[in-house]
Structure 1
Amino acid sequence: MKNIRTKITGLALVSLGLFVTSCSEDNFLDQQSPTDPPTETAVTNEKTLAIAVDGLYNLMQTSSDGAQNSYGALIPTLNELLGDNGFVSLRNSNRFTATRQPTLTFFVRQGGDIQTLWNSLYKIIANANYIISKEGVISDDLSNDDTPQNLFAQAHLVRAMCYHTLITFYADKVGGANQDLGVPLALKYDVSQLLPRSSVQAVYNQIKSDLDASAQISEDNSVTKLGKGALDIMYSRYYLSIKDYTNANVYSQKVLDNANYTLLSKSNAASYFSDDSNSAGETIFQLEYTSNDQPGANDGITATWYSGGRYRQNFATRAFYNQYSATDVRKTAWYSLTGVGAPSITTFPDNPKPVDVKKYTTPDQDIIIFRKTEAIFNQIEALYYTNPGSALTKLNDWVKTYRDENYAFSGSGTALLDEILKQKNMEFFLEGFRYTDLKRNGRGFTNTQTTVSLNPSMKEFQAFPVPLQEQNANPNIQQYPGY
């Protein structure tokens, strides 16, 4: 997001690792006592409401304390490193190395990344809760082009996104194991609350409620603000998650019909990730970084994922790279077998050698959260469960038209589902999908590089553990069985 002189500081709640910030008339988010609630004068008009909503986007970025904390880095990183196509090199900085252990040492209550993700998402939720508590109180400022309704709608949508991410990682899928163990539903600011886990169904009901409450969101918000396109994408994700494939198809089509966005073409694919201006029209929502608020060389997604980054250690597998045909425009546009800088990644000790991912190459590059092509794959996945013949046709048509003119696939059954998810990962590698896509569809895997193997019967495939720090602070929270 743009540098608006915001200063994010933590206000820890007793349970859930929650934090909240407040804002004052001089556009700063002021630090408060670790035990005091936000002042009631923090959000009093549309101007301070807008500043507070901007603060939500700030919190979705990589944090200023060096933690790769949620949508800006950690979520896309874990989706690949806990899947079958990404890995940490044998030459590494010790970051994320537990993800490559076949003994599954990543999945422990003491895990720093598991704790960071939990804290980061609940921190955003706490701030959204405070903003939403002012709904119905803030009057429309007629001198401002925005409206309180649009700003509150964005806060509801942010909260829906966070709960969707939490339930995806920390609970099993709908219809899976332990449906009584969702995640705690914090919906108001209360330093005394020690919340138990709500059921999976209750959490999804809340996500739907927040999506519905976002109905007045603007149609034409910029790509650095959540708007109607982002809302419809989230509806399609939600309906896929609860296995309502008819509505997942309907909302995917709403995104595809939205003329404010254009599907990324073959000719624009090579430059898409270096074009923060979104000239291709594909981007629906992105986290905006500038030279003033970039995460820095030690932080952010480029630190570990790009061969020109400081730690140059996270890569795609050669088996994944070899899935692209020579005529697929993504192969050389988004990946490299040599990387940049010295030494070349061909000298790394891994066997097979790593593949560099070129999607994010500079610290101030914007991070894409929603783009129009996702609607294609959400629709195809929904159709797989309702009309597999149509899913097959749409998959072939899209790949041939937009990525690889020589593509052809004719499989059926689970082979078709695996091909749909494979093509989605080929399109969205390092954009936050693979682990959660496999989990949602019950598709176990083995990572060819690390030999890490997961399947739906394993607790590690079903859910992350509740962080030990959270258990120690909140006696009412139940641990996921087996941890």
Structure 2
Amino acid sequence: MKNIKYIITSLLIMASATSCSNEFLEEKPQVDVELKEGITNEKNLAVAILGLHHSLQSTDSYGAMIPTLNELLADNSFVSLRNSNRFSGTRQTDLSYYVPQQIGFVSLWASLYTIIANANFVLSYEGKIQDDITTSETPDSLFAQAHAIRAMAFYDLATHFSEISGNGNQDMGVPLPLVLDVNTRLSRSTVAQVYNQILSDLTAAEGKILNTNKKQMNNSAVDMLFSRYYLAIKNYSQADTYSQKILNSNFSSLATAAQAPTIFSATEEGGSEAIFKLEFNDKDLPGANDGITATWYSGGRYRQNFATRAFYNKLSTADVRKDSWFTLTSVGSPAISAFPDNPKPVDVAKYKTPATDVILMRESEAVFNQLEALYYTNPSSALAKLNTYVSTYRVPGYAFAGSGQNLLEEILFQKNIELFLEGFRYRDLKRNGIGFTNPQTGVVLNSSKYQFKAFPIPLGEILSNPNIKQFPGY
């Protein structure tokens, strides 16, 4: 038999690489007889789990697309007038970017369903693999990671392609493939059914993961997914509980004001704050055309996506993140001052090299998940904790005194400063029904527009699957 490690890993990687092309219900996972016969013991299973993690690196989803769309389709970032035509449609005030054939939506949809297909393949062996006492892992721990990864992918599909839980059109969730069947043409499950499946997968994973590697799914990452899940379904008490569980854990710790500017350096790669990240290194990294640095950093190949000057100007001069993560000093040529935009762009200097790990979860997210939960249950506590966190860790002397909607928007604004380009702004605004006008492009988006409610199902999916319906308006 061929080398099993090579077969499993390479084929799972190949599956993620096809994410721009075919629809997920037609796309056959890249497996063959040898692979199906290959996961026969715990060591083979462990290799398959590594391959599953590798599929998360796709720049069509977690490696770049999710962070990119969550900023560009919101209020505090934009594509420069000087651009490569990538994402340039997000500038259009007529919202013409939001069409079913838009490659950003097509590739995100396909990439997430490729991850799910790979997870389904791995989980088809659950209960069939014996524990190998010569290894430090167990089958339960490995399958728990697959359950958690599948939950994360379904969560991100529901977040982007469906309305928020409990509001609007609840019949149009996303398809829920749970087994590997390439002939199935699934309809959209309800939003409730999707979130129930997310809960089922998270429950199957909770507390069962033995590894403590921050470059793989771990127990703290599962807790973070629980925190996100409970925010999404508006169970704020549980969102608070899981956020606090992360904050109480010694698995990660908040970066101090002195440490914050270097969190994203090539040496720190998330530092003590990191909970779960995608490993990129000199031997395993996205191409210069596709990585997150390609469009988001002034030293990148396309250097076109920026923070707005209006956003930058709101940052206090005492903010340790200003002029470190967000800077007016560019690296490439021409200088930012020579760009045709008015006002001039602000460089986002979090990711400076393709070999830097991409952060999927870090402890500061737990802070803001808790603050949002408390806003809806105990706003005075939310205000106190917001002031404590920001003044202690990011902006010495910070003190906010607002209430009501102003408090919620300040919590989410501080979250955007902290977690900019980490995949949150669009979904945070959508979840809380907060519309906006982008000050740089003039794009207006709010809950009265169907484009704010859900991304369109890719056109190819609609054409190939007679059972799936497009979201109303597209």
Report the Cα offset of residue 17 of structure 1.
Answer: 5.2
The RMSD of aligned alpha carbons is 1.6
TM-score normalized with structure 2 length: 0.95
> 2: CA distance between counterparts of 1:250 and 1:307?
40
Greater mean alpha carbon deviation, residues 423-432 or residues 275-284:
275-284
Alignment of 1:260-279 (within 5 A): 260-277=251-268
Could you give the per-residue CA deviations for residues 401-424 of structure 1, whole angstroms, max 9, x where no partner exists? 000112111111101000000000
- Which letter maps to 1:9? M
Match of 2:199 in 1: 208
Could you give the per-residue CA deviations for residues 129-158 of structure 1, whole angstroms, max 9, x where no partner exists? 010110000111111111111110000000
Match of 2:311 in 1: 320
**Does the CA contact (< 8 Å) of 1:17 and 1:123 recur in 2?**
no
Alignment of 1:341-360 (within 5 A): 341-360=332-351
Match of 1:47 in 2: 43
Match of 2:146 in 1: 155
Aligned with 1:91 (options 82, 96, 101): 82
The change in CA–CA distance for 1:55 and 1:320 in structure 2 (over 3 A counts) is: same
Report the Cα offset of residue 280 of structure 1.
Answer: 3.6
> 2: CA distance between counterparts of 1:372 and 1:336?
24
Report the Cα offset of residue 20 of structure 1.
Answer: 2.2
> 1: CA distance between counterparts of 2:426 and 2:230?
18
Match of 1:455 in 2: 446
Aligned with 2:107 (options 111, 116, 120): 116
The change in CA–CA distance for 1:114 and 1:416 in structure 2 (over 3 A counts) is: same
Q: Secondary structure at the match of 2:360?
A: strand
Match of 2:14 in 1: 9
Report the Cα offset of residue 15 of structure 1.
Answer: 5.1
> 1: CA distance between counterparts of 2:318 and 2:23?
55
- Percentage of matched positions with identical amino acids: 55
Report the Cα offset of residue 253 of structure 1.
Answer: 0.4
**Does the CA contact (< 8 Å) of 2:299 and 2:330 recur in 1?**
yes
Match of 1:76 in 2: 67
Could you give the per-residue CA deviations for residues 205-250 of structure 1, whole angstroms, max 9, x where no partner exists? 0000000000243255211011111011100000000000000000
Match of 1:225 in 2: 216
Q: Secondary structure at the match of 1:41?
A: helix
> 1: CA distance between counterparts of 2:456 and 2:205?
31
Match of 1:188 in 2: 179
> 1: CA distance between counterparts of 2:22 and 2:349?
39
Match of 2:235 in 1: 244
Report the Cα offset of residue 395 of structure 1.
Answer: 0.3
- Which letter maps to 1:109? P
- Which letter maps to 1:412? S
> 2: CA distance between counterparts of 1:280 and 1:451?
37
> 2: CA distance between counterparts of 1:269 and 1:339?
20
Report the Cα offset of residue 128 of structure 1.
Answer: 0.1
- Which letter maps to 1:82? L
The change in CA–CA distance for 1:180 and 1:435 in structure 2 (over 3 A counts) is: same
> 2: CA distance between counterparts of 1:139 and 1:284?
29
> 2: CA distance between counterparts of 1:420 and 1:256?
18
The change in CA–CA distance for 1:340 and 1:189 in structure 2 (over 3 A counts) is: same
Could you give the per-residue CA deviations for residues 288-346 of structure 1, whole angstroms, max 9, x where no partner exists? 01111111211110000000000000000001111111111000121111210221011
The change in CA–CA distance for 1:276 and 1:138 in structure 2 (over 3 A counts) is: farther
> 1: CA distance between counterparts of 2:22 and 2:130?
29
> 1: CA distance between counterparts of 2:373 and 2:208?
25
> 1: CA distance between counterparts of 2:234 and 2:197?
16
> 2: CA distance between counterparts of 1:318 and 1:277?
28
Unaligned runs of 5+ in 1: 23-31, 63-67
The answer as to 2:297 corresponding to 1:288 is no
Q: Secondary structure at the match of 2:342?
A: coil
The change in CA–CA distance for 1:15 and 1:56 in structure 2 (over 3 A counts) is: closer
Greater mean alpha carbon deviation, residues 139-148 or residues 424-433:
139-148
> 2: CA distance between counterparts of 1:308 and 1:14?
34
> 2: CA distance between counterparts of 1:453 and 1:411?
25
Match of 2:459 in 1: 468
Match of 2:130 in 1: 139
The answer as to 2:60 corresponding to 1:59 is no
- Which letter maps to 1:379? Q
**Does the CA contact (< 8 Å) of 2:22 and 2:110 recur in 1?**
no
Corresponding residue pairs, total: 462
Match of 2:432 in 1: 441
> 2: CA distance between counterparts of 1:343 and 1:48?
50
> 1: CA distance between counterparts of 2:71 and 2:440?
13
**Does the CA contact (< 8 Å) of 1:17 and 1:122 recur in 2?**
no
Match of 1:21 in 2: 30
> 1: CA distance between counterparts of 2:184 and 2:267?
42
The change in CA–CA distance for 1:344 and 1:478 in structure 2 (over 3 A counts) is: same
Could you give the per-residue CA deviations for residues 180-225 of structure 1, whole angstroms, max 9, x where no partner exists? 0000000000011000000000000000000000024325521101
Q: Secondary structure at the match of 2:158?
A: helix
> 2: CA distance between counterparts of 1:263 and 1:19?
42
Match of 1:198 in 2: 189
**Does the CA contact (< 8 Å) of 2:188 and 2:469 recur in 1?**
yes
> 1: CA distance between counterparts of 2:457 and 2:170?
15
The change in CA–CA distance for 1:383 and 1:219 in structure 2 (over 3 A counts) is: farther
Unaligned runs of 5+ in 2: none
- Which letter maps to 2:30? T
Q: Secondary structure at the match of 1:211?
A: helix
Q: Secondary structure at the match of 1:315?
A: strand
**Does the CA contact (< 8 Å) of 2:24 and 2:114 recur in 1?**
no
> 1: CA distance between counterparts of 2:175 and 2:271?
40
Report the Cα offset of residue 458 of structure 1.
Answer: 0.8
**Does the CA contact (< 8 Å) of 1:14 and 1:194 recur in 2?**
no
Aligned with 2:381 (options 365, 383, 390): 390
> 2: CA distance between counterparts of 1:470 and 1:424?
34
- Which letter maps to 1:290? N
- Which letter maps to 2:442? T
> 1: CA distance between counterparts of 2:249 and 2:27?
36
Could you give the per-residue CA deviations for residues 37-91 of structure 1, whole angstroms, max 9, x where no partner exists? 88530311111111111111111113xxxxx310010000000000000100000
**Does the CA contact (< 8 Å) of 2:75 and 2:439 recur in 1?**
yes
> 2: CA distance between counterparts of 1:131 and 1:383?
38
- Which letter maps to 2:14? T
> 1: CA distance between counterparts of 2:23 and 2:473?
26
> 1: CA distance between counterparts of 2:26 and 2:420?
30
Report the Cα offset of residue 388 of structure 1.
Answer: 0.3
The ranges of structure 1 where at least 4 consecutive aligned residues each deviate by more than 6 angstroms after the TM superposition are 11-14
